[in-house]
Amino acid sequence: MPWKKSVAVDERLRFVRDASSDRCTMSELCARYGPHKLADAMAELLGGAREAHPFWGARKLLTVLARRHPRIHDWPAPSTVADLLARRGLVERRRGRHRSTPIQREPIHPACRRSSIRRNVKSGASV
């Protein structure tokens, strides 16, 4: 089957036309016109690298693999790699930081009313 070339503007117009025709559900439209799926070979390459280096993150995996495989030019975004690793269970959630409750301190001296301070300053009296 020959590949059809398409321009992004044409794809958007087809999407809007199909959405306004009510022939397809939004899920079907998103599956048809949505972002491309990560290739299985790419997913296996990334998953295998993570299993070999369990402490490397998505950015480091991409950097090292891009050096090792210079012929591949269309690497996924680091966020896509992180999502893939999480879906495969290769990432552990970090523990949240333990934040202590702040100590309630009493003010050093009770605050004065602002109106009395202003009155004294205007009249020339010392505070």
pLDDT tens for residues 115-126? Answer: 555 555 555 555
Q: What is the pLDDT of residue 28?
A: 86
Q: Domain range for residue 73?
A: 37-91
The pLDDT-based confidence of 75 (bands split at 50, 70, 90) is very high
Query: At what angle are helices 58-68 and 78-87 packed, to 10 degrees?
Result: 110
Q: Is residue 125 part of a domain?
A: no
Q: What is the pLDDT of residue 54?
A: 95
Within this chain, do residues 86 and 42 fall inside the same structural domain, yes or no? yes
Q: What is the pLDDT of residue 79?
A: 93
> Ramachandran region of residue 10, left (φ > 0), alpha (ψ -120 to 50) or beta?
alpha
d(CA 33, CA 19): 11
Within this chain, do residues 83 and 46 fall inside the same structural domain, yes or no? yes
User: Percent of the chain, pLDDT > 70?
Assistant: 77
Query: What number is the average pLDDT over the span 70-77?
Result: 93
Within this chain, do residues 52 and 69 fall inside the same structural domain, yes or no? yes
